[in-house]
Amino acid sequence: MASEYEAVRWRILSGRGAGRPSSALSPLATMNPPPASSSSTSANPSQPTNLPLLISTSFIETLANHVKTLSEARISKGFLHLHPAPIHRSRYLADPPQQYQHITDLLRRIDINLFNISPFKLQTFLSSLLTRLVHDSTRLSRTGTDLPTTQRICAAIFAGAGITELNLPNTPGFHSEVDAVARQQGRTTVALAGVLRAREQVVHYTNALAYFIQWVVCESGELTTELLRDTHRILTRAHEPVDGMPCEPFGGRYRDYQLVSDVVIGSHENDSVYDSNDDNDTETITPTTPRNLHSRASDTTDLSRAGSIYHDVAEEPHSGPTPLRESIDPREVEAYTAKLIDTYHAQLSLDRHSRQADNVAECTLSDPFALTAWLCSEFLHVRPFVAGNEEISRIMLTGILLRELGVAAVIGRDDGDGEAGRAEYTEILERCQQRHGTTEGEDGGSYAEFAGLVVRRATACVEDLAAVVGSS
C-alpha cells in the first residue's frame, strides 16, 4: 500500500501519467497553444505531446478582464437581447420567452453595474464558479474528492502555485474527505492511495479545464480538433486502465473500434445545424440535429453507438458474453469530429455576421445555449475517444459559454450529496441519445431537453453573478 501511495504521490508532483520517475524533471512552463488546424496531424501520433500543466498565474485575472470586456462590448452595441431558439419545448423549459427575457434583464443589470465592483470581487466569484464546476463534474463521473479539498487544489492551480498538499492523513478534514470519496465511489471505505487518486483526478480535470479556457477565452483561440485532443491528453493522465490499456496510449487518440451491434448506416439528409424560418420577416434560426456530419459525397458508417450515453464503451460493465467489436479507422472518427466542429463554427459565424449587420438599438443574439447544447450532445453521440468523452463535453460547455457570454452552466449541482443532480443529467442524456436519428429527434428534438437543462443551470449562474454585482 505504501508503494502505491508513493506512486500516486509522485505522479501528482511530477504532473505525469503512470510510469517510472525520470532522473530529471524539466520545469513546467505556461501552456503551449494548439495549432489552428489539425489537418496536418495524424489521428493517432506515435508519441503523445508532452503538454505542460501549469497555467498562467494571471489566469483568473485575465478571465475577469474578459467578462468585463464582454460587458463593455454589449453596452456599446445597445445591450444584449437573447432570443430562445424554436427547439425549446415547454415540457423541458417553462415559458422560454419569459426565461430568456429574465436572462437578458439580468445581463443588462450586470453590464450596468459590473464596473462598480472591485476586480478582486469578480475574480473571487469566477474562481469559486470554476471550482464548483470542477467539483460537480468530477462527482458526476464518480471521481474526485470533497468540496473543501477541491477548493484548495483549484486555488493552488489557478494561482500557478502547483500542488503541495499531499501529506495524508495530516491535511485538514481528512476523515470527512475519506467518507466523501467512499460515497462518491459507492464504497464503504477507501485506502490512503484511493483518496490521493481522487485528488489526482481533480488535479487533471482542473488542469484540462484551465487549459481549454485559457486557450478559447483568454487567448481568443478557436475550437479545433487539436485543442480537444490536447485537452484530452491532460485530462486522462494517470487515468485508470481501459480494457487493460494504460492511459498513455489512449490520451488524445481517437478510438479505433466500435461494438458490432452499434454499426448504423448514416443518413446524409441534413448537414446544417439551423434551418431558416420563413414565417416571419427577420432571420430566425431553427436548430436541427445533424444526423451525420460526413460530407454528402461520403458513404461511410455513422459512428454513433447505442446504449448508455453516460459511460464510455470500454468502461461499461457487460453482463453475459463480451460484445463483438469491429475495428474502425481513427481517421474516420477524426473526420467526423472535424465536420462537427466546422458545422459549429459555420453557424457561429452566421450568428456573429447577423449581429454585425443588424443596425438596430439592441444587439440581438442567436441562442448560444441551444447551439452549445447541440455541439455537446453531438460530441457525445460521436464519442471520439475511448474514455473521458463526458468530461470533455462539459469542459467544452464551460469554455464556450464563458467565451460567448461570460457565464457558465454548473451541470449536476444540487443541495444534497449529488445523486439527484447526477440522475437528472444522466437520464436527460440517455433520452437525448434514444431520440437521436428518430422522427422524435427531428427539428432539434434530440437535444432540446439537454438545451433546457443548460438554460436552467446557466440562469442560476447569471443570477449568482447579478447578486455579486448588485444594482445601482
Q: Please provide the DSSP assignment of 210-266 as one string.
A: HHHHIIIIIS-PPP-HHHHHHHHHHHTTTPPPBTTB-HHHHTT-B--EEEGGG-EE-
| 110 within 8 A of 122, measured Cβ to Cβ | no
The predicted pLDDT at position 370 comes to 93
Instruction: Examine residue 375 and state whether it is found in any structural domain, yes or no.
Output: yes
Residue 324: strand, helix, or coil: coil
Q: Please give the residue range of the domain that contains residue 14.
A: 2-18+52-469
pLDDT at 365: 56
Q: How large is the average pLDDT for residues 274-289? A: 37
User: Does any domain span residue 162?
Assistant: yes
The reported pLDDT for the residue numbered 133 is 96
pLDDT tens, position by position, 18-60: 433 332 222 233 344 444 444 434 444 333 344 445 578 899 9
Q: Is residue 38 part of a domain?
A: no
- Interval 231-235 mean pLDDT: 93
> pLDDT: is 150 or 329 the higher one?
150
Predicted pLDDT of residue 186: 83
| CB of 361 closer than 8 Å to CB of 351 | no
Tell whether 72 is covered by a domain.
yes
Give the Å distances, CA to CA, from 411 to 37, 129, 167: 30, 12, 31
Tally of domains in the chain:
1
Host H or E run for residue 130: helix 119-140
Give the distance, in angstroms, between the CA of residue 92 and the centroid of all CA atoms in the same chain.
21
Residue 135's CATH number: 1.10.3290.10
Per-residue pLDDT at 326: 78
CA 59-211-133 angle, to 5 degrees, is 80
Answer whether residue 31 is part of any domain: no
Low-confidence winner among 5-14, 241-250, 306-315 (lowest mean pLDDT) = 306-315
In a domain, 45, yes or no: no
Q: Which grid cell is 177?
A: 474527505
Q: Does position 397 have pLDDT exceeding 70, yes or no?
A: yes
355 or 119, which is more confident? 119
Beta strands 325-327 and 257-259: pairing type?
antiparallel
- For the segment 198-211, the average pLDDT, to the nearest whole number, is 92
* Whether the model pTM is above 0.85: no
**Residue 364 identity (one-letter amino acid):** T
Instruction: Please give the Cα distance from 220 to 54 (Å, whole number).
Output: 19
- Answer yes or no: is 223 within a domain: yes
